[in-house]
């Protein structure tokens, strides 16, 4: 049996709680239903009534309420095992999984609770997604989306030219190709993530499937996280790209930005890629996090942490508590092949700060 990830536990708990809620409602309705013999009892003075009826009904209702409350508490504990406010956290996503089998396997072997975003229909998407799940890792769909410079998307990409039916067909085919996915983030998408209508179609489907969304923020004009929040889709936004520059020193600098952000705000969110330089650096750097009191967490765990009501001192990105980044905030990424505009992380309830670097960006 494959191990359950936190996101799967969350969906299982939500489903169980929904079923118990239905059962409680049915029992309550049954208790309130009129007795067919009630009128006869009223008119027959010789009938011995049960004086314990109301007491029993109230007791049953209280028991049902307690059962529902206890299950909800149990679910919150089970789903938040690794999100107990015990120190700074980093959520690291490895994008572009599926093109290279060996590098993908090396990435999966990295220590810590990393999340892997798999490109659908890529040469090795299915075996790598299966391997990730078998290893207890978390898997996302890395959904190709249209760019400002019309970069080819490959099979069944999501574009503004598609009708709603075509859009949903492509999205569903992609999700079917990576059935292990517990959420979705955008691959490229500098064009599509600016389009409210298409983001609404996406979030409606994710809401129905109980999947989360991570905005990779390849454009500073993205509306993806905003629309996700409007549809009550759990979501995060990327704060740091680790390897826009694959020089080892550059990766180390970006990783330090991530760590400092986690220490300052409670949670840092980064995206990297299965590049040789990135894998080699993370092999050395990840084991050192524990010595600094920093934990790696899956994206679903980071979302649970925020949804469980972390206050500003625990995690400043929760519920709009994060202060706006200043124009010279070093967490912001310059435009490169992996981003259209510099971006700073946001939550669903926070407006993105203005980009520090306003010069023309390279569209991706």
- Sequence-separated contacts (24+) of 156-160 with Cβ below 8 Å: 156/120, 156/121, 158/189, 158/192, 158/198, 158/202, 159/191, 159/192, 160/191, 160/192, 160/195, 160/198
What whole-number distance in Å separates Cα of residue 358 and Cα of residue 174? 34
pLDDT of residue 25: 59
Calpha distance 114→111 (Å, rounded): 8
Contacts for 227 with CB less than 8 Å, ≥ 6 apart: 196, 199, 200, 202, 203
Question: Which parts of the chain register pLDDT below 70?
Answer: 1-86, 309-364
Q: What is the pLDDT of residues 188-247, one digit of tens each?
A: 999 999 999 999 999 999 999 999 999 999 999 999 999 999 999 999 999 999 999 999
Does the pTM exceed 0.85?
Answer: no
Residue 93: predicted pLDDT: 98
CA atoms of 149 and 141, how far apart (whole Å)? 23
Q: Count CB atoms within 10 A of the CB of residue 7.
A: 26
Dihedral of alpha carbons 54, 59, 60, 61, sign = positive
Q: What is the pLDDT of residue 20?
A: 58
Residue 305: predicted pLDDT: 84
pLDDT reported for residue 306: 84
Q: Domain map of the chain by residue range?
A: 6-79, 89-320
Contact 342, 190 (CB under 8 A): no
Task: For the domain covering 89-320, report its CATH number.
Answer: 3.20.20.370
């Amino acid at each position: 049996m494959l191990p359950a990830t936190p996101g799967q536990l969350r969906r299982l708990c939500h489903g169980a709680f929904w079923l118990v809620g239905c059962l409680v409602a049915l029992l309550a309705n049954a208790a309130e239903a009129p007795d067919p013999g009630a009128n006869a009892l009223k008119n027959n003075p010789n009938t011995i009534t049960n004086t314990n009826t109301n007491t029993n009904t109230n007791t049953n209702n209280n028991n049902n309420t307690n059962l529902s409350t206890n299950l909800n508490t149990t679910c919150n504990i089970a789903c938040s095992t690794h999100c107990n406010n015990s120190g700074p956290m980093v959520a690291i996503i490895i994008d572009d999984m599926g093109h290279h089998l060996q590098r993908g396997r090396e990435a999966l072997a990295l220590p810590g609770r990393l999340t892997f975003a798999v490109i659908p229909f890529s040469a090795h998407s299915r075996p790598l997604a299966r391997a990730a799940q078998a290893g207890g890792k978390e898997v996302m769909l890395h959904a190709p989306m249209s760019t400002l410079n019309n970069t080819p998307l490959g099979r069944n990409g999501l574009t503004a030219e598609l009708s709603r039916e075509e859009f949903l067909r492509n999205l569903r085919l992609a999700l079917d190709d990576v059935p292990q996915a517990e959420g979705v983030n955008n691959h490229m998408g500098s064009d599509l993530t600016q389009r409210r209508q298409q983001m609404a179609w996406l979030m409606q489907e994710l809401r129905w499937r109980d999947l989360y969304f991570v905005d990779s923020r390849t454009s500073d004009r993205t509306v993806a996280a905003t629309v996700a929040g409007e549809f009550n889709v759990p979501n995060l936004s990327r704060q740091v790209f680790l390897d826009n520059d694959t020089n080892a020193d550059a990766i180390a600098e970006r990783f330090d930005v991530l760590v400092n952000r986690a220490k300052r705000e409670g949670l840092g969110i980064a995206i990297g890629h299965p590049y040789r330089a990135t894998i080699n650096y993370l092999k050395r750097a990840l084991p050192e996090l524990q010595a600094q009191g920093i934990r790696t967490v899956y994206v679903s765990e980071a979302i649970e942490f925020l949804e469980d009501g972390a206050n500003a001192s625990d995690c400043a990105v929760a519920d709009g508590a994060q202060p706006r980044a200043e124009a010279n905030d070093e967490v912001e990424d310059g435009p490169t092949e992996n981003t259209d505009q510099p971006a700073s992380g946001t939550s669903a309830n926070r407006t993105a700060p203005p980009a520090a670097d306003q010069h023309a960006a390279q569209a991706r």
